[in-house]
Amino acid sequence: MRETLRELIGREIVVDTRSHWMYIGRLEAVRDDSLQLAEADVHDGTEGSLPKERYVLSSCETGIKANRRSVYVNLEYVVSVSPLDEVIRY
């Protein structure tokens, strides 16, 4: 999986995790144990009124609402990774 993820370096991605946290940002690096994102939005799914999918769609429409210059996401918690520009708008 790491090699596949390395193909996404430089692209804006959505990282879904096993927790209520999700991450949207530009993939900078894929390490042995983590993903490094730049200009990232670290979003707690328990806060606010939008479900995760609606939040992602909002980011597609209005841009990433970065609240971290850099963040590392533990690969053990990653469920899926998608390029932001491949999110289907419905």
- Per-residue pLDDT at 70 exceeds 80: yes
Instruction: Report the C-alpha gap between 29 and 19 in whole angstroms.
Output: 22
Is residue 49 situated within a structural domain? yes
CA quadruple 43, 48, 53, 54: dihedral, nearest 10: -120
Q: Tally Cβ neighbours within 10 Å of residue 86.
A: 10
Specify the 3-state DSSP secondary structure of 83: strand
The length of the chain is 90
- Per-residue pLDDT at 68 exceeds 80: yes
- Give per-residue pLDDT as tens, 6-22: 999 999 999 999 999 99
Residue 2: phi and psi, rounded to 5, are -60, -40
Is residue 42 situated within a structural domain? yes
- Per-residue pLDDT at 48 exceeds 80: no
Split at pLDDT 50, 70, 90, the class of 37 is: very high
pTM of the predicted protein model? 0.92
Is residue 87 situated within a structural domain? no
Instruction: Report the C-alpha gap between 72 and 1 in whole angstroms.
Output: 17
Residue 46: which CATH number? 2.30.30.100
